[in-house]
């Protein structure tokens, strides 16, 4: 489906495109931001790799493109960055705007199977299939064979699960303060109860990074995760990176998961901005391997 370009903004030598397109998986118009680094705007024959950045609860693709500082490193390395939205918008499903941690702005990167959410809450398919297909069809500068993924909080969960569910599809993964074990935290339990139903426990596990890593057979892992020790959601046991780490160790992937506890950092974009360059560099290592 064709994209509409709502705005083109100069940023770090490249262009940030504010795009919308009609998406069938989410049954609505979706907005996103696409950062094209200078390498992709000055020479349209030069294909650049792509980093998907998945946002956290309540966010749109705008927050991180304004505050996350990914364009800084992406410009230097020559990587395009995709900032999608976090849910369908305006489906008029009863209750979709009742809370900030479920429904609008809280799609959790799953395909809902429970009514009424199964109508358009298909963020897994949207991010993993429909959006990249549309982007690679519309922007010939983007190299579909070199894609990495990262994200924050709910988006860190999305990045880890999409990576672990699709061996080989993403060249690398990293995450900031990811919801690492959603089936065991309040946010995840609420979301999965709503999107899958309380009894669909096997379905829950299919979207839980701590469960998924147990079954990983895609070769050596190199997962970079940053968590701030001053992060209130970490302290409230919403993130549970220790569970992910333990699961990685028990399944023989201890050396493949690098969880860095960053002293004093909180859950905000100040935290992400501080380490964005390092996550872009982590992706670049594999995108340019």
Site string for its own copies, 205-244 (x = CB under 8 A): -----------------------x-x--------------
CB nearer to its own copies: pick between 113 and 268: 268
261-275: burial string, b at 16+ Cβ within 10 Å, e else: ebeebbbebebbebb
Q: At what angle do helices 70-77 and 269-287 cross, to 10 degrees?
A: 20
Question: Tokens 């993964």 identify what position?
Answer: 173
Instruction: Give the one residue of 25, 55, 71, 161 binding its own copies; rule: CB under 8 A.
Output: 71
69 makes contact with its own copies (CB under 8 A): yes
CA distance 243 to 257: 12
Residue 273 interacting with its own copies (CB under 8 A): yes
Piece in contact with its own copies (CB under 8 A), picked from 6-14, 129-137, 165-173, 250-258? 6-14
263 touches its own copies by CB under 8 A: yes
Q: Is 271 in the site for its own copies (CB under 8 A)?
A: yes
Q: Where are the alpha helices (DSSP H) in 68-153?
A: 70-77, 123-125, 131-138
Q: Is 46 a catalytic residue?
A: no
- Give CA–CA dist 92/103, Å, rounded: 10
Query: Dihedral, CA atoms, 177, 257, 250, 187, nearest 10 degrees?
Result: 20
Considering only 10-18, 161-169, 170-178, 180-188, which stretch makes contact with its own copies by CB under 8 A? Answer: 10-18
Interacting stretch for its own copies, rule CB under 8 A, among 7-15, 126-134, 162-170, 232-240?
7-15
How many whole angstroms separate alpha carbon 55 and alpha carbon 267? Answer: 12
In whole angstroms, give the CA distance from residue 142 to residue 241: 32
| Nearer to its own copies (CB atom), residue 27 or residue 278 | 278
> Does the active-site annotation cover 267?
yes
Q: Active site residue: 55, 153, 174, 247, which one?
A: 153
Closest separation in Å from C-beta 244 to its own copies? 22
Q: How far apart are CA 81 and CA 65, in angstroms?
A: 9
Q: Please, which residue, 15 or 122, has the CB nearer to its own copies? A: 15
Q: Is 44 a residue that touches its own copies (CB under 8 A)? A: no
Catalytic residue status for 231: yes
54 with 156: CB under 8 angstroms? yes
Q: Which residue, chain included where needed, has tokens 């996103």?
A: 32
| Catalytic residue (choose from 231, 247, 279, 282) | 231
Q: For binding to its own copies (CB under 8 A), which residues are involved? A: 9-13, 15-16, 66-67, 69, 71-72, 228, 230, 262-266, 268-271, 273-274
Question: Residues with catalytic annotation?
Answer: 153, 231, 267
């Amino acid at each position: 489906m064709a994209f509409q370009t709502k705005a083109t903004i100069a940023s770090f030598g490249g262009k940030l495109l504010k795009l919308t397109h009609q998406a069938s998986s989410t049954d609505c118009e979706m907005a996103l931001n696409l950062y094209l680094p200078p390498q992709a705007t000055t020479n349209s024959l030069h294909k650049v790799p792509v980093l998907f950045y998945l946002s956290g609860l309540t966010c749109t693709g705008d927050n991180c493109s304004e505050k996350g500082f990914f364009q800084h490193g992406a410009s230097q390395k020559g990587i395009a960055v995709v900032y999608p939205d976090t849910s369908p918008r305006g489906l008029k499903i009863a209750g979709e705007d009742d809370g900030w941690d479920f429904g609008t702005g809280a799609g959790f990167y799953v395909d809902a199977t429970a009514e009424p959410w199964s109508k358009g809450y298909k963020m897994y398919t949207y991010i993993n299939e429909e959006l990249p297909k549309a982007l690679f069809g519309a922007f010939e500068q983007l190299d579909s064979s070199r894609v990495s993924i990262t994200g924050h909080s709910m988006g860190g969960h999305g990045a880890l699960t999409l990576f672990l569910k699709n061996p080989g599809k993403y060249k690398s993964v990293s995450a900031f303060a990811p919801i690492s074990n959603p089936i065991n935290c309040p946010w995840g339990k609420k979301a999965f109860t709503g999107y899958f139903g309380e009894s669909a426990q096997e379905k829950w596990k299919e979207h839980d990074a701590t469960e998924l890593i147990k079954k990983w057979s895609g070769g050596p892992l190199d997962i970079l995760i940053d968590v701030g020790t001053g992060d209130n959601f970490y302290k409230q046991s919403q993130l549970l990176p220790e569970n992910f780490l333990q699961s990685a160790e028990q399944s023989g992937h201890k050396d493949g998961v690098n969880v860095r506890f960053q002293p004093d950092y909180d859950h905000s974009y100040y935290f992400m901005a501080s380490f964005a360059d390092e996550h872009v560099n982590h992706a670049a290592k594999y995108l340019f391997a």
